Amino acid sequence: MVNYGNLNFDDEWYDKPIEKYLSHKRDHEKITEGRLDDIREAVLESPEEPEWDAWDEFVNWHDGMTTSDAQAFKQQLEKANLGPRTVEKKMKIVKSFLNYLLEREVVDSNPVAYVHDETDYDYPDSDYIDRTIEEVGAYLRGIKNIQQRAIGVLFAKSGMRRGEMYNIDLPFLHLNHDIYDTVLDQHNITLVNEIADQPDALYIPSDPTERRSFRGEFRYTGNKRKQGTKIPIDNETKKALLDWLAVRPETTQPHPLWTSPTGSSDRIGATNTNQKLTNYWAEKTGFVDDGSNGAFMPHWFRHFFTTNMKPGRGHHDDSIDPTLVKYIRGDVEDDIMDVYTHDWGNQVRGKYLNHIYYFGIYD
C-alpha cells in the first residue's frame, strides 16, 4: 500500500465540507451539472416534491452519526414512495460524500456505507419465475450435456454474470484433484497468484472489458466486476466441473474453460449457451413451458442466488451476510473489501461452504 505520509487537506474540507465536496467534484473530477444537481439534492437540499429531506437536512451529522441515523434516513426515502433504484442512488451519493470526509478525517465513521452495503436493492422483475431449490436441482440433473450442466450449476451457486462465466480461463480456476492437476500439467498452465494457494476456488478478475483484448484474445463480453473476487467451489460444483474437464477438448492460450460444442478449442459463444441451457434444456426437463420468451435467462440465476442466500428470503433455510452475497456477486466496492480479502478462508470460504444450498445432483 502506498504511504503518502501526513497530508494537509484544504481547511475548507473541515469548515465547509459540503461546499468543498461540490467544488472538488466540479473542478477536479469534471462531473456534469446534472450529476452535481443529483449530489445537491441527496446531500444538501431536497426538492419540494416528493416530500423527503436531504442528508444535511435530516441528520445533524457534524456532531456524530450512528447506524440508526443512516437507517432512518433510508426509511424516510422509502416512505416518500421513492423507488428502490432511486433510494439506492441517493444512499450511494451520501455514502460517497462521507467517504471523502472519512479519508480526510473530517468524520470518523460512515454509517451510511454500512446501511447501504447491508441493504438488498436487487428486486426481481414482476415476471420473475419462482422455483425451489429442489426444482432447480431436478432441472440440473435432467441436463444430459455435462458442459451445460456444469455451467448451470456454477451459475446457480455463484450468481455470476453471463460475461464472467464465458470469460473463465483455466489459470483462474484451482481444483484440488488429480484430474485437474493433469490438465494443468499437459497444457503447462500456471495458476494466477490470487488462487495459487487457494484450492477449490475460482478467481473472477474485474477485467476483461467488453470488446477489448484480454490475455491475447478479443473478448465479446466484459466482466463488469467492481473488483477481482475469489469464489469458493463446493463439492457439488467441483464434481460438475471435473465431469466436464474429463472430456474437454485440448485448448491453446488463453485456455478457455468452456469450449465450442463442435469439439474445437474455441471459446463457447454466449448465444449458443443461452439457447441450450435456458431454452432447450429448460423446456426438455419441464422447468419452463417456453424457454424462448426471455423470462428464463442466465441472469435468472443471479436473482435465484441472491434471493435464496440472503436472510429471510427464498426457499433456503440457511443464509449468509448480505455483504458476503454482494462480494460473491461482484457488487461490493473497495471500501468494504478488506475483511474478505485479508481473512478469505474464514470470512468467505468457511461461511459460504457452511451455508450454500445443495441440489443433490449426484445422489
In this structure, what CATH number is given to the domain that contains residue 65? 1.10.150
Among 74, 89, 117, give the residue marking a domain's end. Answer: 117
Q: In angstroms, what CA-CA distances link 112 with 17, 255, 316? A: 17, 43, 29
Are 67 and 176 in the same domain? Answer: no
Please tell me the total count of domains within the chain: 2
Strand partners, 213: 218
Local confidence band at 332 (pLDDT 50, 70, 90 cut-offs): low
pLDDT value for 6: 55
In a domain, 197, yes or no: yes
Are 64 and 151 in the same domain? Answer: no
The per-residue pLDDT of the chain, averaged, comes to: 88
Q: Which domain holds residue 18?
A: 12-117
In a domain, 122, yes or no: no
**Residue-wise pLDDT tens digits, 176-205:** 999 999 999 999 999 999 999 999 999 999
Among 117, 142, 172, give the residue marking a domain's end. Answer: 117
Are 283 and 344 in the same domain? Answer: yes
Q: Is 51's pLDDT higher than 80?
A: yes
Are 156 and 92 in the same domain? Answer: no
Are 41 and 179 in the same domain? Answer: no
Strand partners, 256: 169
pLDDT value for 353: 97
Interval 114-136 mean pLDDT = 79
Are 181 and 242 in the same domain? Answer: yes
What is the percentage of the chain residues whose pLDDT exceeds 70?
91
Are 233 and 108 in the same domain? Answer: no
Reduced to 3 states, what is the DSSP secondary structure of residue 162? helix
**Residue-wise pLDDT tens digits, 6-44:** 556 678 888 899 999 999 888 888 888 888 999 999 999
**Residue-wise pLDDT tens digits, 70-83:** 999 999 998 888 87
* CB-side neighbour CA atoms (13 Å) of 131: 22
Identify the CATH number of the domain in which residue 255 sits. Answer: 1.10.443.10
Q: In angstroms, what CA-CA distances link 292 with 146, 283, 360? A: 22, 9, 27
Q: Is 57's pLDDT higher than 70?
A: yes
- Residue 187 phi, psi dihedral angles, 5° rounding: -100, 0
pLDDT value for 79: 87
C-alpha cell at 197: 494457494
pLDDT value for 310: 87
Higher-confidence position of 180 and 261:
180
**Residue-wise pLDDT tens digits, 315-330:** 999 999 888 998 899 8
In a domain, 1, yes or no: no
Are 204 and 299 in the same domain? Answer: yes
In a domain, 220, yes or no: yes
Q: d(Cα 279, Cα 149) in Å, to the nearest integer?
A: 13
Are 139 and 170 in the same domain? Answer: yes
Local confidence band at 144 (pLDDT 50, 70, 90 cut-offs): very high
Are 17 and 52 in the same domain? Answer: yes
Are 233 and 179 in the same domain? Answer: yes
Are 158 and 231 in the same domain? Answer: yes
**362: which residues sit within 8 A by CB, 6+ positions away?**
236, 239
**175: which residues sit within 8 A by CB, 6+ positions away?**
199, 200, 233, 238, 241, 242, 245
44-58, 151-165, 244-258: least confidently modelled range: 44-58
In a domain, 6, yes or no: no
Among 56, 90, 117, give the residue marking a domain's end. Answer: 117
Q: d(Cα 218, Cα 144) in Å, to the nearest integer?
A: 31
What is the percentage of the chain residues whose pLDDT exceeds 90?
54
88-97, 211-220, 338-347: least confidently modelled range: 338-347
In a domain, 202, yes or no: yes
Q: d(Cα 155, Cα 160) in Å, to the nearest integer?
A: 6
pLDDT value for 4: 45
pTM of the complete model? 0.70
In a domain, 81, yes or no: yes
Q: d(Cα 353, Cα 334) in Å, to the nearest integer?
A: 24
In a domain, 73, yes or no: yes
**Cβ neighbours around 342 below 10 Å, total:** 8
pLDDT value for 284: 93
DSSP structure string for 319-359? ---HHHHHHHHT---GGG-HHHHHTHIIIIIIHHHHH----
